[in-house]
């Protein structure tokens, strides 16, 4: 495995006369890149971070290109991101310090998706993983793994009388609120279904998470919910949307009132983020495009040609963990708030890389018979290959 040479690998080289054409953007990107540049300190060396100062000029060249090449998509050096934000294992740490994740989803028709997301969070390195689901789904999800903490508190409309809906909805939110402050990130949508009463209850949960400043990854049926009610995520810098090709198409049509244009994919994604306001969007595809309305990066290393269902659930659980780690890393830095890189973007980059590497390992072993559980099996190995668990 080669050593990283910078936080970003870029495509075109800018003209020298244009280097300072957009100095505010340049300074912001320079801060971003420096925040990922391993420092030659004792702690960074102990954690396995390279300390060579030879990387500095490469970082500067990359930042110049980002500041002056409008519309260009930059390949993230995702391995460097993973190494930088993954916390080292420390014998002094206690349970919960490596992350507490909650998945809001799971109904009688869909029990696999919330399980995949929640167990992936544990396999990546979170200490605790919760699932808030309907009563019909709870026993099934519990049977998949004793590692998950399952809360059978959600309800669908078929089990609630019309005159009881207001009180039941209040009780659900009250129960979730008891736990919300303990979570570092929540994932909304895997296996959620589209029952109207259940979606209304989850809308209240999203609003509460926002008020509590809890990062929120929205996937699956959660994207159906927010596409039809953009106020749930609009203006929330801690919201991450992870649409696939069909979910992205619906989102673009709803927000921009046009069709997806692959010729101007990066510009359109940036505009979409700006229109919604402050959210981070990862457009999943052959290459995952990630934008927070300011910059567009991509992760395009090849994963697997096998497109079995459930990989998006692995991604959402993984992104939740990495986003919580990145947020802690950024908040603990000494940089002024206005100069800090968006940790949600870093979480997306890291989660994308890990899924792709895990899918590659799984396909190498299982070929056409590869299923989602095979990919989950390789999450630990893939992270270990990138960031060995030395302590």
Q: What residue numbers does the annotated binding site cover?
A: 191, 244-250, 284-288, 303-313
Q: Which of 25, 10, 73, 76 is closest to 265 using CA atoms?
A: 73
Cβ contacts of 128 within 8 Å, gap of 6 or more:
95, 96, 99, 100, 101, 149
Residue 193 Cα distances to 4, 202, 219, angstroms = 42, 11, 12
Distance separating alpha carbons of residues 180 and 185, to the nearest angstrom:
9
Which residues is 240 bridged to in the sheet?
A: 217, 280
The two three-digit tokens of residue 325, written as one number:
């780690």
* Known binding positions for (6S)-NADPHX: 191, 244-250, 313
Cβ contacts of 364 within 8 Å, gap of 6 or more:
none
The two three-digit tokens of residue 382, written as one number:
């893939």
The two three-digit tokens of residue 234, written as one number:
């609009």
* Known binding positions for ATP: 284-288, 303-312
Cβ contacts of 171 within 8 Å, gap of 6 or more:
none
Q: In what order do the strands lie in the sheet with 74-76?
A: 8-9, 74-76, 296-299, 288-291, 280-283, 239-241, 216-218, 185-188, 100-104, 128-134, 149-154
The two three-digit tokens of residue 312, written as one number:
């998006």
Cβ contacts of 296 within 8 Å, gap of 6 or more:
73, 74, 266, 269, 270, 289, 290
The two three-digit tokens of residue 274, written as one number:
């700006």
């Amino acid at each position: 495995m080669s050593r990283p040479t910078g936080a970003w690998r870029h495509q075109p080289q800018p003209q020298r006369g244009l280097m300072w054409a957009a100095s505010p953007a340049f300074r912001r990107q320079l801060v971003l890149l420096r925040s990922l540049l391993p420092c030659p300190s004792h702690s960074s060396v102990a954690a396995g971070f390279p300390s060579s100062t030879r990387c500095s000029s490469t970082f500067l060249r990359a930042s110049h290109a980002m500041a002056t090449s409008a519309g260009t998509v930059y390949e993230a050096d995702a391995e460097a991101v993973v190494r930088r934000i993954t916390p080292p294992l420390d014998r002094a740490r206690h349970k919960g310090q490596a992350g507490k994740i909650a998945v809001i989803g799971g109904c009688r028709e869909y029990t696999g998706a919330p399980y995949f997301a929640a167990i992936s969070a544990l396999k990546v390195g979170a200490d605790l993983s919760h699932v808030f689901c309907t009563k019909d789904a709870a026993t099934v999800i519990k049977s998949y793994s004793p590692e998950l903490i399952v809360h059978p508190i959600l309800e669908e409309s078929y089990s609630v009388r019309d005159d009881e809906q207001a009180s039941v909805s209040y009780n659900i939110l009250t129960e979730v609120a008891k736990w919300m402050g303990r979570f570092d990130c929540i994932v909304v949508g895997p296996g959620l279904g589209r029952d109207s009463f259940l979606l209304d209850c989850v809308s209240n949960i999203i609003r509460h998470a926002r008020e509590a400043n809890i990062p929120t990854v929205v996937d699956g049926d959660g994207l159906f919910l927010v596409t039809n009610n953009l106020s749930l995520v609009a203006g929330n810098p801690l919201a991450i949307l992870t649409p696939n090709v069909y979910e992205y198409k619906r989102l673009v049509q709803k927000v921009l009132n046009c069709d997806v244009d692959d010729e101007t994919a990066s510009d359109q994604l940036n505009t979409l983020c700006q229109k919604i306001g402050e959210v981070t969007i990862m457009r999943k595809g052959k290459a995952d495009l990630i934008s927070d309305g300011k910059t567009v990066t991509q992760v395009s290393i090849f994963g697997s040609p096998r497109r079995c269902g459930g990989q998006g659930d692995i991604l959402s659980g993984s992104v939740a963990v990495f986003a919580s780690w990145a947020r802690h890393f950024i908040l603990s830095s000494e940089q002024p708030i206005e100069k800090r890189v968006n940790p949600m973007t870093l979480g997306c980059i890291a989660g994308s890389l890990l899924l792709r590497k895990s899918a590659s390992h799984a396909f190498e072993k299982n070929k056409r018979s590869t299923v989602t559980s095979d990919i989950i099996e390789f999450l630990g190995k893939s992270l270990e290959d990138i960031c060995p668990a030395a302590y």
